[in-house]
Amino acid sequence: MEPILELQDLEVKFHTLDGVVNAVNGVSYRVERGKTLGIVGESGCGKSVSVLSIMRLIQDPPGKIKEGKILLRGKDLLDYSEQQMERVRGAEIGMVFQDPMTSLNPVLTIGKQVREAMIVHKGLSREEAEERAVGLLNLVGIPNPEQRIGDYPHQFSGGMRQRAMIAMALSCSPEILIADEPTTALDVTIQAQIIELTKRLQAELGMAVIWITHDLGVVAELADDVVVMYAGYIVEEADVFQLYENPRHPYTIALLHSLPRVDRGQQDQRLATIPGFPPDGITVLPGCPLAPRCNFVVERCMQENPSLTLVDTDHKIACWVDTTTGKERT
C-alpha cells in the first residue's frame, strides 16, 4: 500500500553555543492511511523534532533540516514554500501539542481558536464555523459546547483543554493527525479518556495518526506499527504485536523491562533501570550510541554504528547482536 506520508533519511541539526546538536540522524519511516504509527523513546531522542520537521516548524536558526525528504502523497514538503505549507498545516495535517495551556492563546475564546482554521482553510463564514465548532466540541466530549465555546482556556481543566486542542486539529478534517505526547501532563484517568477518544475519532474519520510518547503502555493501546528511537536514530521498527511479543533490540528490551507488570510475582516487583545517561547529541563517538549503557555490548559495538536491518517479516533493528542468543550477528 502506498503510504500517505513518508520520511526518507531525515537529518536535523541545531547550532548552539556548545556545538552542533545532531537531533535526528537519517530517520526513515512511513505512515499508512487509516493506521496509527507510535514513535517511542526517552526525552531528547528526536521524536518531536522529526514531526516538527514534517510540519516545517523547526526554527531556523538554530535548527536546520540538513538532508532527507518528507513525502506527503509523494510530494516533498521540503520543496514547499511557506505559503504552501500554511495550506498544509491544519487542512491536511493536524497537530496536537504536548502542553495545551501553552499551545492555546490565553486571550482568545476556545470558540474563536477552533473557528479560525475553518475560516482560513475552508472559507466558512463566522456563523458556519461557529456551528461546526460547537459540533466538534461535542464530538470530543466537551459538555454543553454551546455555552463552553465562549470560555477562555483558563476556564477549562487540563483534560478539557486537550480535548479542545484535538477539536482544533480536526476542524478541517485532516488526513493525518500528529499527537506529540498529548497525555503527558494529564492524570491517568484523563489519559485513558483521550486515548479512547482518539481511537473512536480515527475509526469514524479514517485518518492516519502519528502518536509520539515515551509511554509504551499507551503505544500498546493505540498503535498499529511502532518506531523506537534513541539518540536521534531509529533502533527498532515493527508492528505492535511483534514489538511486544518479541522485542529484538537491547534498548526496546530494557524499556519493556522497566514497565510495571501486573502478572509478575511479589519477588519481581523491583523495576529494571537503564544505567547511565543518553548521549548529548553534540559529542559524536564511533560505534553504537547505546553501547555505553547496553547489556549486550560486544567489541564491534564500540567501533561501528549498525544500520537498520531486517531480522523478521516487517521487523527491523539496528544492532550487531542477536539478543535472542546473545551472539554477534554476521
Three-state SS across 200-266? Answer: HHHHHHCCEEEEEECCHHHHHHHCCEEEEEECCEEEEEEEHHHHHHCCCCHHHHHHHHCCCCCCCCH
Position 36 scores a pLDDT of 93
Residue 115 burial (CB count, 10 A) = 26
Position 261 scores a pLDDT of 67
Residues 211/38, Cβ–Cβ less than 8 Å: yes
Three-class secondary structure of residue 283 per DSSP: coil
Altogether, the residues listed in the chain come to a count of 330
- C-alpha 6/C-alpha 35 separation (Å) is 13
Position 241 scores a pLDDT of 93
Copy the grid coordinates of residue 113: 481558536
Position 53 scores a pLDDT of 94
Chain mean pLDDT for the chain: 87
Give the predicted TM-score (pTM) of the model.
Answer: 0.89
- C-alpha 219/C-alpha 17 separation (Å) is 36
One digit per residue, pLDDT tens: the chain, 330 residues? 678 999 999 999 999 888 999 999 999 999 998 899 999 988 888 899 999 999 999 988 898 999 999 999 999 999 999 999 988 988 889 888 877 777 888 999 999 998 888 888 888 888 888 888 998 888 888 889 998 999 999 998 888 888 888 888 888 888 999 998 887 767 788 778 878 888 888 888 888 999 998 888 888 888 999 999 999 999 999 999 999 999 999 999 988 887 776 665 555 567 777 888 888 888 878 899 999 999 898 999 999 999 999 988 889 999 999 888 888 887
Three-class secondary structure of residue 28 per DSSP: strand
**Amino acid letter at 241?**
F
- C-alpha 306/C-alpha 299 separation (Å) is 13
Task: Give 255-286 pLDDT, tens digit per residue.
Answer: 888 777 666 555 556 777 788 888 888 887 88
Position 166 scores a pLDDT of 85
Angle at alpha carbon of residue 174, lines to 203 and 222, rounded to 5°? 40
